[in-house]
Amino acid sequence: MKNIEQFRYVTGVGFDKLVSRLIEDYTVYGTIKKDGFPAFSKISDAGELELAQTPTHLSAKEFLFPQRETLLKFDIRNNIHEAVIEAKEQVIVGLHPCDIRAIALMDRVFSEGRPDANYLARRNKTVIIGSDCMPDNYCFCKSMGTMTVEEGFDLFLHKIKKGYLVRVGTKKGERLLSKYTVTLKPTAGRLRELDEFNKIREASFTAKLDASPEELPSIYAGAYESPVWDKIGAICTGCGSCNNVCPTCYCFDVKDEVEPNLSEGKRVRVWDGCTLEDFAKVAGGHNFRKTRAERLRHRFNRKFRYLSDRFGELFCVGCGRCSRTCLVKINIAEVTNEIIRESHRRR
């Protein structure tokens, strides 16, 4: 049984009151049903919120790192340039543990070196409210050590039969909970409900990796010439869906857009992806990752090796979105397990 001091209990009515009052003071994004699937969307009423136990196809990354944003406005004729930072007070409700972990990784990326003012302004104005999940056939967060999370959230919700058990992660979360709703001390019975749910959840994983997270960087280091890359490269369409849905892909391009008067314009940042053909193309038309096999190899190594060398952490959180979305069913867990098997054969 969990430590009772970790939790507060909120009734269903109390939770609806919390969400309704947050909507009054913040822009609130949460999980809804869209075309029958869970998706993050702006909500204007507590009744719209459906805390999804299965993963959303798109992550909540866009609320911190938009797919397109203006960084700078300029007027060449008048020698004017103005940095643009657009950030609003916002709440994201319904983030699963893997997504909370992904945000922590993005925080590191955009804080390192010269801090990214646009990302950090949004992050500082964002309240993170997590919630429990249940894996589908693509989730392998258990193998990645991201099935649970102890930090990185302001509040974390555990749905039980009559209401929610709530963990408080920050002082901000504590203030919001006390300001917007009423909490009670949970009973031992309610904590047992959570324990039972966690047992069912842990036993529900079907996708898993055959090596520990700590082993993966060295395994990938030895797989540079693996035939796996040509095999999946032959079926990949190069659509970039895996980059777009990944909660830890952060590559972007910066472009200047000039008005017809050839004086005024703006500098915009847009998402880019390493599986796209033009990503590694440079002046003169040279492309140092010409084939889809090479581009896929690069992406997988970014998740399991390259960024581990830089940050000391893997950049795959096991959400399964890339596999779930892939048009030709390239499955990141299955590919990794094939590489693991090759590694074992080489020993």
205-223 pLDDT tens trace = 999 999 999 999 999 999 9
pLDDT profile of the chain (347 residues), mean per 10? 74 96 97 91 95 90 97 94 96 98 98 95 98 96 96 96 95 96 94 95 97 97 97 97 97 95 96 95 91 97 96 97 97 98 88
Burial 294-326 (b: 16+ CB within 10 A, else e): bbbbbbbbbbbbbbbeeeeebbbbbbbbbbbbb
The whole-number pLDDT of residue 35 equals 87
49 and 31 Cβ atoms separated by less than 8 Å = yes
pLDDT in tens, 21-38: 999 999 999 999 988 889
The whole-number pLDDT of residue 2 equals 53
Closest CA to 138 of 246, 41, 223: 246
336 and 256 Cβ atoms separated by less than 8 Å = no
The whole-number pLDDT of residue 52 equals 76
The whole-number pLDDT of residue 1 equals 43
Spell out the alpha helix ranges (H) of 210-285: 216-221, 228-233, 241-245
Closest CA to 319 of 22, 41, 21, 55: 55
